[in-house]
Amino acid sequence: MNATPATIHVLHTADPAVADRVASGLERADDRFTVEVATGVDDAVASLHTDDPDCVVSMYALPDRTGIELLEAVRESRPHLPVVLLAADGSEAVASNAIAAGVTDYLPWRDGAEACATLADRIATAVATHRSPVELEADRERLSTFVEPSPPGVTVSATSRP
């Protein structure tokens, strides 16, 4: 969906009551965010095939499975997509399992504006970190169209953008 580089499209997966509160809170916390809600792993995976989110945010406890299972499904098709896992109980065991499974970030979750602001900051950081290497590779590919056909003796140099 990525309307502009400043837009951050988030796919949030949770129980419907929680998902709507978090989606609204994220959009209030940062006007760059557009949030799509999925109610479970299957719904989220289907959205990955039709949308192009910049980040997936998931509660650990989902109606159909766990956030770890969603993370594993995301990694199968989009291995570098940032995934942030939220856990209402803030369990060390859940955090350890999430980190071992390769989650981008983990947060103990409490409803509220402050929690949404913290989550928004974490998402923005994860997306910026993910976009930088992706954008650099795109720049390299564009430059290769100039470098490969260049006659001998022509040098093309580039520096990465800030």
pTM for this one?
A: 0.77
pLDDT at 10: 97
Q: What is the pLDDT of residue 6?
A: 80
pLDDT at 106 over 60: yes
Token pair belonging to 144: 């290769």
> What pLDDT, on a 0 to 100 scale, did the predictor assign at position 84?
97
Residue 146 pLDDT > 70: no
DSSP the chain: ---STT-EEEEEES-HHHHHHHHHHHHHH-TTEEEEEESSHHHHHHHHHH---SEEEEESB-SSSBHHHHHHHHHHH-TTS-EEEEETT--HHHHHHHHHHT-SEEEE---SHHHHHHHHHHHHHHHHHHHHHHHHHHHHHHHHHHHTTPPTT---------
Closest CA to 10 of 40, 62, 47, 46: 47
pLDDT recorded at residue 94: 87
Given this model, what pLDDT does residue 22 score? 93
* Predicted pLDDT at 155: 53
Residue 3 has pLDDT above 50, yes or no: no
- What pLDDT shows up at residue 4? 47
Residue 96 has pLDDT above 80, yes or no: yes
Tokens of 128: 């910026």
Average the pLDDT over 56-69 and give the result.
94
Instruction: Count other C-beta atoms under 10 Å from residue 37's C-beta.
Output: 18
For residue 1, the model assigns a pLDDT of 46
Return d(Cα 106, Cα 99) in angstroms, integer.
8
Is residue 97's pLDDT more than 80? Answer: yes
Average pLDDT taken over every residue of the chain: 84
